[in-house]
Structure 1
Amino acid sequence: MSDDEAGPERDHLPAEQVESGVVDNPWRKLRAFTDARIGLGRAGISLPTHRMLEFQLAHAQARDAVHLPLDVDALCESLDEPPSPLPNQAPIRLHSRADDRITYLQRPDLGRRLNDDSAATLAEAAADDGYDLALVIVDGLSSFGVASHAAPFIEKLASELADDADFDWSLAPLTVIEQGRVAIGDDVGERLAARCVVVLVGERPGLSSPDSLGLYLTWNPHVGVTDADRNCISNVRPAGLALDEAAQRLLYLLKEARRGEQSGVALKDRSGGEAIENETEQKNFLTG
């Protein structure tokens, strides 16, 4: 088909779009407010080439985030002298019961518990009186997220804890765990007799967010705790929830958890405004 036979659809398009062969999409303006792939335009009945290449790159980055091993040496080196009120010692390196990445991906249960050597190592760090808080860094499903944001976030959170006028915080030695899941923090917290544990974990990557860090808070951690007893702050990264804001929100939850000695569904996050309470009486639809 010649340009003259292409139809009236081309008549209202800017010259540069006619020349490139890409038909614009009016929803394109919405991309200023989201990373979602909307309003991409089309070339004939297909996506424009550069949009397809962007998708393939994002997909490759997501796969790399899952499979690329965390550089634990570099991470521990960046945290070799943790900021106060963390103990002035290098992070304790631990490992889950999943020996390698393939096992970790195929057996999530093995990523929730420490292996025997790590359990023995952690026993040496336990204190008679326990700790108020244990911070646990876990590679999870995004080594990018942990490598990029864990150390800077620890510094910001430590500053918030040091400036807290309501509580003094005794912190357990920092731990870094390879091939771990969120629940492995319960194992660590129980062995350290920590009253609260916060797990910093690489979140499952999306096609626009391969570097997200998740924060999971659990009061009274012990093996067998369910997700209903945790509070989660997700999408911690420069293009999502800023590290400063995440640290402030986590401090709020930590203080409320300590006051009420609870976490999870019983702990409402009012750091950004009033939470909606359900005051409706719950009835069984069978009995009326």
Structure 2
Amino acid sequence: MSDRSVPVRPTIDLRSFTPARVALGRSGASLPTKALLDFTLDHARARDAVHAAFDTPRLLADLGALDLAVTEVRSRAVDRSDYLRRPDLGRQLDPASAQRLARSVSAPSQLAVVIGDGLSAAAVHAHAIAVVKRLLQSLAEGDAVAIGHVVAASGARVALGDEIGAILGARMVVMLIGERPGLSAPDSLGAYLTFAPRPGRTDAERNCVSNIHRGGLSHDEAAFKIAWLVREGLAREVTGVALKDESADRAPRQIGTFSPG
């Protein structure tokens, strides 16, 4: 017997708390036409985001407007089809890019920023420049952290930042990359932070700030969290499971003087 004293809230109330597909209704044994068409459209947008071309010239121009010198590289994946079928190739620089990157190094740095297309170039085009602009502002406050190198990487997986950071001699690398598109967010950007980057680092050794998009984490919030993790990671000399995001609770500790080499 049901307890009639307990108020029953209609399932449709959940729509005000989540973009997930709940309380869609029913038309016979299937979905209503609108719900089905909405699903089909969102699925098509997610597929388009995965296959969209990376507009590197546009990215380089936008970064140049922020007075940032950028080195352009690519992974060993020769095209998008290769990239999707062979994730391992997206984690390695092609030889020409590795040589070009090595020639660009004048001295080690505290921080390198890599912007890669990942699984959604649309996310990079929509959010990366705004996040970088706000990150520059956040890193300039207080105990300033300079971005020593900026790299634009095509055909990139997250771990490509490890090889890039190692070649550049960066103490930490921040990889901004398009995340796997979802049906409610085909243009979500992620930021992955790795201290002492080198090939072979695991995901447990990284911090991630994810879901940067219009319906998720704002550009200001993302830049604040990334800057906090950068400062705290450099101070503790660690990232990953050993570094908890406590940016909402306290200020990061002082980093101290950085001496290249």
Q: Same fold (TM over 0.5)?
A: yes
Partner SS, residue 118 of structure 1: helix
Larger radius of gyration: 1
1:93 aligned partner: 72
1:121 to 100, 105, 128: 100
Matched, 1:102 2:81: yes
Matched, 1:42 2:42: no
Matched, 1:257 2:196: no
Which residue identity is paired with 1:162?
Answer: A
1:141 to 119, 126, 133: 119
Structure 2 unmatched runs, 5+: 1-8, 251-261
2:132 aligned partner: 154
1:211 to 187, 212, 215: 187
The structure with the greater share of residues assigned to strand is 2
1:279 aligned partner: none
Partner SS, residue 104 of structure 2: coil
Which residue identity is paired with 1:148?
Answer: A
Distance 1:238 1:75 in 2: 20
Q: Is the 8 A contact 1:133 1:171 kept in 2?
A: yes
Matched, 1:192 2:171: no
1:66 to 50, 59, 73: 50
Which residue identity is paired with 1:94?
Answer: V
Q: Is the 8 A contact 1:26 1:39 kept in 2?
A: no
Distance 1:264 1:257 in 2: 9
Partner SS, residue 124 of structure 2: helix
In angstroms, what is the RMSD of aligned CA positions? 1.5
Distance 1:136 1:89 in 2: 12
Which residue identity is paired with 1:120?
Answer: Q
1:3 aligned partner: none
Q: Is the 8 A contact 2:117 2:155 kept in 1?
A: yes
Partner SS, residue 47 of structure 1: coil
Deviations along 1:175-207, one digit per CA (max 9) or x if unpaired, are: 110001000000110000000000000000111
2:11 to 24, 27, 33: 27
Which residue identity is paired with 1:149?
Answer: H
1:21 aligned partner: none
2:41 aligned partner: 57
**Identity %, equivalent residues:** 48
Q: CA deviation at 1:272?
A: 2.8
Q: CA deviation at 1:169?
A: 2.1
Instruction: Go from structure 1 to structure 2 and tell me whether the alpha carbon gap of 1:237 and 1:186 turns closer, same or farther (over 3 Å shift).
Output: same
Distance 2:207 2:110 in 1: 17
Partner SS, residue 152 of structure 1: helix
Deviations along 1:221-276, one digit per CA (max 9) or x if unpaired, are: 011111111000110112101110111111111111111111111111111349xx
Instruction: Go from structure 1 to structure 2 and tell me whether the alpha carbon gap of 1:220 and 1:152 turns closer, same or farther (over 3 Å shift).
Output: same
Which residue identity is paired with 2:94?
Answer: N
Q: Is the 8 A contact 1:113 1:187 kept in 2?
A: yes
Q: Is the 8 A contact 2:111 2:170 kept in 1?
A: yes
Q: Is the 8 A contact 1:76 1:91 kept in 2?
A: yes
2:64 aligned partner: 80
Q: CA deviation at 1:81?
A: 2.7
Distance 2:116 2:68 in 1: 18
Q: Is the 8 A contact 1:127 1:193 kept in 2?
A: no
Distance 1:89 1:26 in 2: 53
Which residue identity is paired with 2:240?
Answer: G
Number of residue pairs the alignment of both structures matches: 242
Which residue identity is paired with 1:172?
Answer: G
Partner SS, residue 64 of structure 2: coil
Deviations along 1:147-192, one digit per CA (max 9) or x if unpaired, are: 10001110010010112x12x3232231110001000000110000
Q: CA deviation at 1:29?
A: 2.2
